[in-house]
Structure 1
Amino acid sequence: MKNFLIVKLSAIGDVIHALPVAYALKEAYPDCHITWVVEPPAYDLVNMSPYIDEIILFEKKKFKSLGGFLHEYGPLKRKIRQRRYDAVLDLQGLFKSAAIARLGKAPVKLGMCNMRELSDKISRPVIGPHAHGHIVERYLDVARALGCPVNEVRFTLNVPEREADLSQQIFAQAGANMANPYVVLAIGANWPNKRWPAENFAKLADWIYDKQLIPVMVGGGIVDEQRAAEISSYSDIPPLNLVGRTNFKQLTYILQNARLTIGGDTGPVHLSAGLGTKTIMVMGPTDASRNGPYGQLANAIEVSHSCRYCWKRACPKNMDCLQNITVEQVIKKIEEIC
C-alpha cells in the first residue's frame, strides 16, 4: 500500500482547488493511504472528502512564539513521522509548508509549478503541461507526475446527515423553505477589489425575486455582515441573510442544492463550481484562465479594464474594480445558462 502526504494548509479557495488531487491518487492507487495537513479554517472541507484517510491539523498561531514553537514542534513531527511516505506533495509552495514537507520521510517530494519562499529547495516543482493553465490543473500536474492518469476530476464532498438537517433548519429560521428554488449570492471576498458592489447585488436580488426565486446571501466575518446589511438596505425586498450563520458543511449542502451561485473570486464560489452547481463569477484583478469557476469558465464575467489581471489586493488607481460589470451583464449570463 502506498502512503502519500499532502500539505495544503489554506486558504479556503485554494484547498478546494487542491481536493481533486486526493481523488486522482485514489483513482491510480485505490489502496493508498492519504494524509492531509491543513489549517483549522479549511479543516471541515478536507474532513468531508471520502478520499482522505487522515488529517493532521497545523495550528500556525501556536508556532508564532518561541515557547509555542518549542511546545508544538515535537508533537507535529511525531504525527507526521508515524508513517513513511512514498511521496510528499507540497501544494502550498511557501516556507511554512516546506517546513512541514521537510518533516515527512519520503523518497520523492514534489510541489506545484509556482513555488515561493525557497520551498523549491525542499520539494521539486512540477512544471507540467498545465503550468500556465487553471490552478486545479496545476495541482493535478503534481499527481500526474506520480503516475496518475487523472481520467476524472472529482471534488466530492459528503455532508453528514445531521449537518444537512441543520442547514434546512437554519434556512427556515431565516424565513424560507429550502425546498423552494433559490440562488446563492456569495457577497464577500478577502480582497476588497474582488467584491461586486453592494448596489449591484441588491438590484440583482430584486430581479431574482421577480423570477420567483429566493436570493440567499452567504459569507462570514464582520465585513460580510456589513455588506449584507448594506445590500438589504438597497433592496426592495431584503434577500435571505445566512451570512455568518453556517459552517462549511452546512454551506456545502446549501450550495449543492442551489439553482445557481453568483459572486466574485472567493471560496464559496469555487466550492459551488466544484460541486457542479451552475456558477457565475465576476472577475477583475484575477483572471478566469487561472482562477475562474472550474469546468464553467464560460460563466466568468471579466471587467473590460486594460489593467485587469493585475493580481493586486488593492487597486493602485483607486477604482472600484468590478463596478463596470453591470447587473444587466449578469442577468444576461443567468438567462444563458438557466
Structure 2
Amino acid sequence: MRSILLVKTSSLGDVIHNLPVVSDLRRHWPALAIDWVVEESFAEIPRLHPGVRHVLPVAVRRWRKALTRRDTWHEIGQFQRQLRETCYDLVIDTQGLVKSALITRLADGLRCGYDRTVAREPLAARFYDCHYAIPGTAHAVERNRWLVAAACGYAPDLPLRYGIHANPDAGASPYCVLLTATSRDDKLWPETHWQALGQTLAAQGLRSLLPAGSPRERERATRIASAIPGAETLPPSSLTALAGILAGAQSVVGVDTGLTHLAAALDRPVVALYVATDPGLTGVHAGPRAVNLGGRGQCPAPAEVLNALQALPG
C-alpha cells in the first residue's frame, strides 16, 4: 500500500470524526501517503494531523451558489485536474453522500464506500467499486474507522487516537472555554445556565473564554460574559487559532457544535451539552476525558455540568 485518498468534505464535526482514520492507517503503514479532500472552510483540520500529506480543498458549497459563473467552472476544472494528478491504491469515501461519491468517482484509484443499506444517501453507493456494510448503530468515529479497516483489510482494533497537534495558547491564568454557539437555536443551552456556570468557575479561579464568530453569536456571548467576572468574548478566529485556544484550556464546556468535538480530539477535559439531539451516534467520543450530558428534550442543569467537570480526569 503506497497511497490513499480520503474523501470527507464536511461538516466540521464530521471532518474531526474522520481524523482517527489517519492515525489507524499510519499505525499499519508508517510510510503511507495519505491525501484528503475536504471543504475549503474546514481544510485547516486535516492539516493539524502530521499523517496527512496533502489536503485537497473543494468548494462545493460555494460553487453551488455560482454555477452560472465562468470562474466557478474554471475552479472546478482545476480541482478535477489536481484530483487526478495521483493514482491512488484506494479512494475511500467515509461520508456516504452523493456529493462525496461523485468526487470519489472522479479520482483515480479503486473507489470504496458504504453499502447502499448504510450509506447516508443510498444513491451514493452506485459510484463505488467496492461496498461495505458497516453497522449503522456504531458511533460515527467508529463507522469511519471500520469502513477504512474493511477496505484496507486490517482488523479495526487499534486504540482510538485523533493524532492532531496544536500549539497551546499561553494564557496568563488558567481558563475554561465555553462554546455557547451552534448552528441551530434548539441546540442552545440557556444563557442563564451559562452565566451560573461561569460565575462558579470564576469563584474557583478559572477565567471563562467565549469564542464567537458571527455578529449574532458575539451578541449572545457578550451578554453571557457580562454576568461572569473576568470573562472574555473572543474575536472571530481561524480554526488553527481556535485549536490553540482549546489546546491550552484547563477544561471545555460546549453545546452540540464542531468545536466541542475539536476540543475532545485535542484531549482536553470536555463536557458536551445536548438539549435537542441524541449524542449516542455523534456525541463527543474520545475516552474518559470527554463526557456527553443531556439528550433530545433534555436540558442539563449547571450543577450537573459542574459535577461532570470535577469528575473528569485532569
TM-score with structure 2 setting the length: 0.89
The 1-side partners of 2:173 and 2:120 are apart by 45
The 2-side partners of 1:95 and 1:247 are apart by 29
In the alignment, structure 1 residue 152 sits paired with structure 2 residue 166: no
Which ranges in structure 1 are unaligned for 5 or more consecutive residues?
169-177, 309-320
| 1:129-144 matched pairs, under 5 angstroms | 130-144=135-149
How much does 1:126 deviate?
2.7
User: Structure 1 residues 246-255 or 200-209, which shifts more?
Assistant: 246-255
How much does 1:115 deviate?
2.8
Determine what percentage of the aligned residue pairs are the same residue.
27
| 1:191-210 matched pairs, under 5 angstroms | 191-210=184-203
Which ranges in structure 2 are unaligned for 5 or more consecutive residues?
none
Structure 1 letter corresponding to 2:244 = Y
- Contact 1:28–1:149, Cα closer than 8 Å, also in 2: no
CA 1:236–1:268: 2 relative to 1, 3 Å: closer
Structure 1 letter corresponding to 2:147 = V
Structure 1 letter corresponding to 2:46 = V
Secondary structure in 2 matching 1:224: helix
- Contact 1:256–1:277, Cα closer than 8 Å, also in 2: yes
Q: Which residue of 1 aligns with 2:275?
A: 284
CA 1:243–1:194: 2 relative to 1, 3 Å: farther
CA-to-aligned-CA distance 1:243-277 (integer Å, 9 cap, x gap): 42x22112112211211110111111101111111
Q: Which residue of 2 aligns with 1:50?
A: 50
Q: Which residue of 2 aligns with 1:71?
A: 74
How much does 1:136 deviate?
0.4
TM-score with structure 1 setting the length: 0.83
User: Structure 1 residues 118-127 or 87-96, which shifts more?
Assistant: 118-127
Which of 256, 266, 277 pairs up with 2:257?
266
Q: Which residue of 2 aligns with 1:81?
A: 84
CA 1:224–1:273: 2 relative to 1, 3 Å: same
Q: Which residue of 1 aligns with 2:9?
A: 9
C-alpha RMSD of the superposition: 2.2
Structure 1 letter corresponding to 2:155 = P
The 2-side partners of 1:192 and 1:296 are apart by 28
Equivalent residue pairs, number: 304
How much does 1:149 deviate?
3.5
User: Structure 1 residues 60-69 or 197-206, which shifts more?
Assistant: 60-69
The 2-side partners of 1:111 and 1:79 are apart by 25
CA-to-aligned-CA distance 1:101-152 (integer Å, 9 cap, x gap): 1101222422484331621111355323x53121100110112111243413
CA 1:283–1:70: 2 relative to 1, 3 Å: same
Secondary structure in 1 matching 2:88: coil
The 2-side partners of 1:10 and 1:108 are apart by 19
The 2-side partners of 1:27 and 1:147 are apart by 14
Which of 290, 294, 306 pairs up with 2:285?
294
Q: Which residue of 2 aligns with 1:312?
A: none
CA 1:70–1:248: 2 relative to 1, 3 Å: closer
Structure 1 letter corresponding to 2:141 = V
> Comparing both structures, which one devotes a greater share of its residues to strand?
2
Secondary structure in 2 matching 1:38: strand
Q: Which residue of 1 aligns with 2:127?
A: 122
How much does 1:92 deviate?
2.1
Structure 1 letter corresponding to 2:308 = K
The 2-side partners of 1:230 and 1:117 are apart by 44
Structure 2 letter corresponding to 1:135 = A
CA 1:114–1:223: 2 relative to 1, 3 Å: farther
How much does 1:65 deviate?
1.0
Structure 2 letter corresponding to 1:9 = T
Secondary structure in 2 matching 1:5: strand
The 2-side partners of 1:69 and 1:41 are apart by 17
CA-to-aligned-CA distance 1:275-326 (integer Å, 9 cap, x gap): 11111011133222212211347721114xxxx2xxxxxxxxxxxx56x321
CA-to-aligned-CA distance 1:19-69 (integer Å, 9 cap, x gap): 111121222222221111111211111112101101111122235414355
- Contact 2:114–2:133, Cα closer than 8 Å, also in 1: no
- Contact 1:114–1:125, Cα closer than 8 Å, also in 2: no
How much does 1:230 deviate?
1.9
Q: Which residue of 2 aligns with 1:105?
A: 108
The 2-side partners of 1:25 and 1:261 are apart by 29
- Contact 1:182–1:214, Cα closer than 8 Å, also in 2: yes
The 1-side partners of 2:303 and 2:110 are apart by 55
The 2-side partners of 1:199 and 1:84 are apart by 55
